[in-house]
Structure 1
Amino acid sequence: MNLFITGTDTEVGKTLVTASLLHAIRARGETAVGLKPVASGAERTAEGLRNEDGLALLAASSPGFHYDQINPLVLEPAIAPHIAAEEVEVDLTVERLLAGITPGPSADWRLVEGVGGWRVPLSGRETMEDLALALAYPVVLVVALRLGCLNHAMLTADRIRQVGLPLAGWIATEPDPCQSRRDENFATLQQWLPAPCLGRLPWAESPDPKRMAGLLDLSPLSTASQPARP
């Protein structure tokens, strides 16, 4: 099964959610791989540029994959991808990102994690939405329980459905332990979002995706519409 993981904004916990989903899938005896088509913000190593999110997905994926399969395009500047691409003179297009995903590494589950929010720019007039449309995978939305999350979550969910992609589910995260009314916001999202909640990941100083995996419910994903793979 293929999924596209998006968020209401940047720093909402997409990588934590994706890694936790990978561990939950693997715990069922199935193979899973997480893909980060493009990542900005990287360190130079003996093996080349390495991004923290890409390394996290590699660690959570089934054994046998290598970094270049997980994160085929990594940009060193820690800024918005389209600006980073301009600085290093890389053509950041949907076509280029698709080439790193399809056919790509094979597994029972392939989870493609976007960058930033749903409509983060790429190059020209393209955005991450265009990549999601080209893939046509069911979408999982990550919502951080913080100020503004209700509006952001509902607008993003509406847009996903408006462009014709299935919203397979959503997952709440808690990046700020001091944020008030988290339970009330969570209840409101359960009422208003037009998709099943797959789980809620609480704040942790050093979150462990393998432990967080036990807080996720994958059962609604079995009925998610799965378009043909491009």
Structure 2
Amino acid sequence: MTSPLSLFVTGTDTEIGKTLVSSALLRGFTRAGLRAAAMKPIAAGAFEVDGVWHNEDADQLDAASSVLLPPALRTPYLLKAPAAPHIVAAEEHVTLDIGHIVDCHAQALKLADMVVVEGVGGFRVPLTDTQDTADLALALNLPVVLVVGMRLGCISHALLSAEAIAARGLQLAGWVANRVDPDMGYADENIAAIRSRLKQQYDAPLLGIVPHMRPVSADAAADCLDINALLQTLRAAQR
């Protein structure tokens, strides 16, 4: 019996398509025959429906999953206001405990073959006065997939993020170029520049290019990703 797999999805910034790519990964893993579940450990921004609090990103992840985790496992910390987590947590008198998230992740691994963990914002978003999302990724000790929002400035953002991931001793399993700005000039050249550098410096392959979509579609985005190559990397890392 093979052990469950998991990965951590981060991005070069907020609003660059982490949820779309995470959802696409979930659809791709499901197509590959895996029972795929999602975690959004910390979500900031909630709305109430019939007495139940929801988060838009978490709902999208659930829609793309083939295994639904209990909400308390999928999103251990659901904050009400859509702002920086450490600020909202302090206002709502919530302590963001990385250890609790790690425990929830361990439980999630018992329920699925693959658990996709989507971070919040970029790789260094503060969670407490002393910890940030990089500490969370390190505590989970997962390979990282970096979503690069293709817009002006993305090369520096991608390289800085990759450097921060490597500095924590984590594996950059690959990256996804997401065309968030359909009017970006020299997009292909920017992708090529990032691709060569991340491959050469971190052996991190380009897993796919997601075109600008309206409306967005997890299944269409999954068509753009090399799921098999990513699975080979994740299984090799597990050995």
Does the pair score TM above 0.5? yes
> What is the identity, as a one-letter code, of the residue corresponding to 2:138?
L
For 1:212, which of 215, 221, 229 is the aligned residue? 221
In the other structure, the counterpart of 2:179 is: 174
Say whether residues 1:99 and 2:103 are aligned partners.
yes
Question: What CA deviation, in whole Å up to 9, does each residue of 1:154-201 have, x standing for no partner?
Answer: 111112112211110000101111221111111111111131011010
Match of 1:62 among 53, 58, 66: 66
| Number of equivalenced pairs | 228
The sequence identity of aligned pairs, in percent, is: 43
CA distance in 1, matches of 2:163, 2:69: 35
Give structure 1 regions of 4+ aligned residues with deviation exceeding 6 angstroms: none
1:162–1:63: structure 2 CA closer, same or farther, 3 Å change rule?
closer
Task: Specify the SS of the correspondent of 2:122.
Answer: coil
Give 2:214's aligned amino acid. E
Query: Counting helix residues as a fraction of each chain, which structure ranks higher?
Result: 2
- The corresponding residue for 2:42 is 38
Q: Which amino acid aligns with 1:201?
A: V
User: 5 Å matches for 1:59-208?
Assistant: 59-104=63-108, 106-193=111-198, 194=202, 195-208=204-217
Q: In 1, distance between residues paired with 2:35 and 2:51?
A: 26
In the alignment, the residues of structure 2 paired with residue 82 and residue 133 of structure 1 have an alpha-carbon distance, to the nearest angstrom, of 18
3-state SS of the aligned residue for 2:120? coil
Q: Helix, strand or coil: the match of 2:223?
A: helix
1:160 and 1:123 map into 2 onto residues whose CA distance is: 19
Mapped contact 2:178–2:210 kept (Cα < 8 A): yes
Q: Which 10-residue stretch deviates more, 51-60 or 63-72?
A: 63-72
Shift of 1:95: 2.0
- Post-superposition shift, 1:47? 4.4
SS in 1 for 2:115: strand
When structure 1 is superposed on structure 2, of 4-13 and 210-219 the one drifting more is 210-219
TM-score, normalised by the number of residues in structure 2: 0.90
Give 3-state SS (helix, strand or coil) of 1:169's partner: strand
2:237 matched to which residue of 1?
226
CA separation of 1:64 and 1:35: change in aligned 2, threshold 3 A: closer
Q: Is the 8 A contact 2:43 2:79 kept in 1?
A: yes
Which of 8, 11, 17 is the aligned partner of 1:13?
A: 17
* In 2, Cα distance between equivalents of 1:215 and 1:128: 27
Query: Tell me, what secondary structure is at the counterpart of 1:158?
Result: helix
Task: Letter of the 1:172 partner, please give it.
Answer: A
State the Cα RMSD in Å. 1.5
Local SS of the residue matching 1:103? helix
Spell out, residue by residue over 1:13-67, the C-alpha distance to the aligned partner (whole angstroms, 9 max, x if none). 0000000000011111111011100100110122421000000011111144343
1:131 aligned partner, one-letter code: L
TM (norm. structure 1) is: 0.94
